[in-house]
Structure 1
Amino acid sequence: MTPTSAIISTTTIRDVSLRDGLQLTGKVLPTEKKALIVRRLLALGVPEIEIGSMARPDLVPPMANSLELIGELTPEELRRCWVWVATPRHIDKAAQAGARNFQYCFSASDAHNRANIGRDTEASVAALPSAIQMVQELGGRIEMCVATAFSCPYDGDVDPQRVLDITADARTQGVDDIVLCDTLGRAVPGEVAHLVTAVHHAHPDVRVAFHGHDTWGMGVANAITAINCGARMVDATLGGLGGCPFAPGAAGNTPIEDIAYAIRPPWLRHSTFADLVTLADELLADVAETSGSKAARSSKSSTTSSDWTT
């Protein structure tokens, strides 16, 4: 079921190409090129963008110049940008560079949290109140990003109650958003509907977001399901780039071209879509990756006349 126009008008598509999209490519894009991508996405009308990560550069080399990118952007641009963090110290470093919006990430699964962040989930939750206080004092925004909310590459399926318990923990209260991540791209719409509905009903004053991967071809279906069940933001990347270094076998994120074509947000026009496809092609060429977007591919190969062909 496609979301109604009223729902779409309140739904944000966030582009996460410069963080989740790039982290497995092994190549550090120049800061100037990253800044240009941010500005082109903002000019197209993409409401929010994830621009980088405070992850250790030796573990995730493509994120090495994230602080430089933050410093390159204006305060006005940064108000629409997010930075991945895992500790209060990460927030301090990014804030000193000018960041104001922080995606505090940890995993529902202890095994994945240890692999990804180097501690168990309880340690990440315990540090969250300090992170929330820091961001509130900055006048910024903080979201709690729960990775492996559906399944873990090490422990298998994650009990939805585990995620609900995390979001109900008193130490997690005060976040602006709750992001539910299908890190492996293995969830199906029924599972997404159950978890998103439950979290939305339990936290009606907090924006719920869905971060999906397209490993099993469910990316767009899961995103639309999440929107219909209360999510007000969905993540995507140009050309479906992406994947987690600590989630073996997970494919890229859901392509922003496919989600935008499916739900037709207010900022999307035929010309905007064409420019989005072009920008994706340029980024993919820079990192020597191929596009996973079916909408982009179809827009180039359509044999019939359509306003959406590029």
Structure 2
Amino acid sequence: MNTRIDFQLRDVTLRDGLQLTGGMLSTERKAEIVRSLLAAGVPAIEIGSMARPDLVPPMANTLELISALTPEELEKCWIWVATPRHVEKAAAAGAVNMQYCLSVSDAHNQANIGRTTEASMAALPQALEYARAADVALQLCLATSFTCPFEGDIDPGRVLKLVEDPRADGVSDVVICDTLGHAVPEQVSDLIGKVRAAAPGLGVVFHGHDTWGMGVANAIAALDAGATTIDGALGGLGGCPFAPGASGNTSTEDLLFGLRPDWLNPKNFADLVRLGESITSELHEDNRSKSALGARSKASAFQWVMPS
């Protein structure tokens, strides 16, 4: 039984999950995936990014996807943004939840967003002003919170300095990202605990990658330390195109199987496994979910194994 009564899983397949894929999904297919995730009970979904389409082609139809969804569906959907203008454009299309992303590491912020970390923070008050005017929830998302592919280990003090920066007053949550999947549970627990203490009025999201096989363990550590939301992607898809060495997100299927939120049952778990299999097959990507493999095993007496 799940004892973490307040946690939420956010599926990021359609944003972080697609960033490194060679294949493209149409707006219609993305909308279908959103509706399948919601029908299965997934409470929150990251559906796209305002990143430049020439740099991240799978995100090119994000505005079209926002327009294709109903207001009720958009209440559960999140958009990645990195500038005030991104907030303005996404809000005009109908988005109501966004995460304003920057990197703790200057080198990664330059590679990913094209400016220094300080420049991104300096623009945050304007992004918050646009968000308030449009009645948009805006999270502060901190990539490379543990390690950077260019700078190495990140001092936790750098993360806390950004969390405590008065220019972030007004964000709804802080997203702590293990962008490269290098962190271990003790590090995750320590940093999440410090972030909770530094910003007791904010929700804390943990965004993990499974590069070194610690994804589920790190998510559990984050929840036990006070995180309120964890991110995952179907089939373990994903990775940052500007972070050499980053592989897929922690698998949504693995997180759900391990944590068993109250809304999960064998039937909707099987629906999500099938959806992950379908997406990875369409994109010609490997399915990295261990639980999806388990669900296809021959141990038919186990209720979480899918009927053959």
Structure 2 counterpart of 1:135: 131
Matches of 1:104 and 1:286 in 2, distance apart?
30
Question: Which residue number corresponds to residue 224 of structure 2?
Answer: 228
Quick one: distance in 2 between partners of 1:149 and 1:173?
19
Which shifted more, 23-32 or 185-194?
23-32
TM-score by length of 1: 0.97
Larger deviation: 215-224 or 194-203?
194-203
Query: Where does residue 276 of structure 1 map in the other structure?
Result: 272
> What amino acid maps onto 1:182 in structure 2?
D
For 1:106, the aligned partner's letter is L
- Structure 1 stretch displaced more, 24-33 or 228-237: 24-33
1:28 paired to 2:20: no
Residue pair 1:27, 1:61 contacting (<8 A) in 2 also: no
1:296 matched to 2:286? The reply is no
2:273 & 2:41 partners in 1: Cα distance? 14
| 2:79/2:95 contact within 8 Å kept | yes
Q: Which residue of structure 2 aligns with residue 216 of structure 1?
A: 212
| 1:285 aligned partner | 281
- Contact in 1 for aligned 2:299/2:305 (Cα 8 Å): no
Deviation at 1:116, TM superposition (A): 0.1
Task: State yes or no: 1:50 paired with 2:55.
Answer: no
Amino acid at match of 1:86: A
SS of the residue aligned with 1:122?
A: helix
- TM value normalised by structure 2: 0.98
Matched with 2:168 is: 172
Q: How many Å separate the matches in 2 of 1:151 and 1:249?
A: 11
For the residue of structure 1 that corresponds to 2:213, the secondary structure is coil
Q: Which residue, out of 142, 148, 151, partners 1:152?
A: 148
Check the 8 A contact 2:13/2:47 in 1, yes or no.
Answer: yes
Residue segments in structure 1 that go unaligned for 5+ positions in a row = none
Deviation at 1:296, TM superposition (A): 0.8
Q: Deviations over 1:73-105 (max 9, x none)?
A: 011110100000000001111111111111100
Q: Does the 8 A contact of 1:28 with 1:64 survive in 2?
A: no
Deviation at 1:304, TM superposition (A): 5.1
Alpha-carbon deviation of 1:6?
4.3
1:66 counterpart (62, 71, 78):
62
Q: How does 1:177-256 map to 2 (within 5 A)?
A: 177-256=173-252
Deviation of 1:303 (Å): 3.3
What's 2:109 paired with?
A: 113
State how far apart, in whole Å, the 2-side matches of 1:211 and 1:239 are: 16
Look up the SS of the partner of 2:98 in the other structure: strand
List per-residue Cα deviations over 1:208-237 (Å, max 9, x = no partner).
000000000000000000000000000000
Partner of 2:33: 37
Distance 2:145 2:164 in 1: 14
Q: CA RMSD in A?
A: 0.9
Task: Report the 3-state secondary structure (helix = DSSP H, G, I; strand = E; otherwise coil) of the residue aligned with 1:17.
Answer: coil
Q: Which residue of 2 aligns with 1:14?
A: 10
Distance 1:154 1:32, change over 3 A: same
- Aligned residue in 2 for 1:123: 119
Deviations 1:133-163 (A, max 9, x none): 2111211200000000000000000000000
Tell me how far apart the structure 1 counterparts of residues 201 and 168 of structure 2 sit (CA, whole Å). 14
Aligned length: 306
Question: Which residue in 1 is equivalent to 2:96?
Answer: 100
Residues 234 and 252 in structure 2, CA contact (< 8 A), matched pair in contact too: yes
Counterpart AA for 1:265? P
Q: CA deviation at 1:267?
A: 1.1
Q: Distance in 1 between matches of 2:276 and 2:250?
A: 13
Unaligned stretches of 5+ residues in structure 2:
none
